[in-house]
Amino acid sequence: MPDKTALVVSAHSADFVWRCGGAIALHAEKGCDVTVVCLSYGERGESAKLWKEGGMTLDRVKTERRKEAEAAARALDVHDIRFFDLGDYPLVMDQDAKFRLVDVIREVMPSFMLTHSTWDPYNPDHMLTLQWTLECRAIAQAWGHNPGQAVLGAPQVYLFEPHQTEQMNWKPDVFLDITPVWDRKWAAIQCMQGQEHLWSFYRNAAENRANHFQRNSGGQSGGRAAKYAEGFQSVFPRTVDEL
């Protein structure tokens, strides 16, 4: 898979770890360069533990969050991680920020993209990220945007698993076996010192998705065992030569 690349668009700097850390590590291991864009550090809305400590400032929180994200990225063998530092709660993406993301998309030319789900009443940052990602994908396909630059094809966009799947109307249509790289994902998860309350949550989720993997690959009759898996929802239809 040396020619394959992938792009993750993460609203806050920890989202890529919980939600698709396995997919990142697995594809990295296969030789696929995975780039992660963190639109914000989640410094205001997803750093409660840090804020509960004394004497914290926005800059210190951002620094801590960045360190954690970079450590996790190393654990997952991320090719490149970019921090857009757009602020969070609310995360706002103006035209400049959109064009910046388009630049990254065209630079990476991803074979597929990973981002948030379409609806999230708990966290509008997440659902806006999906809207913006679709918008930037469309701009990257436009021949009239930076004419002369190579133009994006039609990469699949996978929506990774949100925190409360059913409340977000998220329905996975593909399960990925991440057993071979679980150690990496678990190491990356443990980099998230500020959100320790979520560690076992996402280990449980990975184990249960492995159960779904086995069920959908044959169940009690030829189903392939997997110990850890991740689920994704595709936005676009696939094009195939064989069912």
Residue 179 CB, nearest approach to a copy of itself (Å)? 10
Write the DSSP symbol of residue 181: G
End-to-end CA, the chain: 22
Residue for token digits 């700097």? 13
Residues 94-113 that bind a copy of itself (CB under 8 A): 95, 98, 112
Figure out which of the listed residues 80, 124, 190, 227 binds a copy of itself, where binding follows CB under 8 A: 124
Residue 142 CB, nearest approach to a copy of itself (Å)? 4
C-alpha distances in Å from residue 107, one per residue of 33, 67, 122, 139, 202: 12, 25, 33, 13, 32
Residue 167 CB, nearest approach to a copy of itself (Å)? 7
Rule CB under 8 A: say whether 175 interacts with a copy of itself: yes
Torsion, Cα 183 21 232 106, to 10 degrees, reads -140
Residues 77-96 that bind a copy of itself (CB under 8 A): 88-90, 92, 95
Q: Which is nearest to 82 in space by CA: 64, 103, 61?
A: 103
Residue 39 CB, nearest approach to a copy of itself (Å)? 15
Residue 74 CB, nearest approach to a copy of itself (Å)? 22
The pair phi, psi for residue 142, each rounded to 5°, is -80, 120
Which one of the spans 74-82, 181-189, 200-208 is the region binding a copy of itself (CB under 8 A)? 200-208
- What is the residue type of 191? C
Residue 188 in tokens: 């990356």
Figure out which of the listed residues 67, 122, 183, 193 binds a copy of itself, where binding follows CB under 8 A: 122
Stretch 134-173: interaction string toward a copy of itself, x if CB under 8 A: xx--xx-xxxxx-x--xxxxx-xxx----xxxxx--xxxx
Rule CB under 8 A: say whether 54 interacts with a copy of itself: no
Can you give the length of the chain in residues? Answer: 243
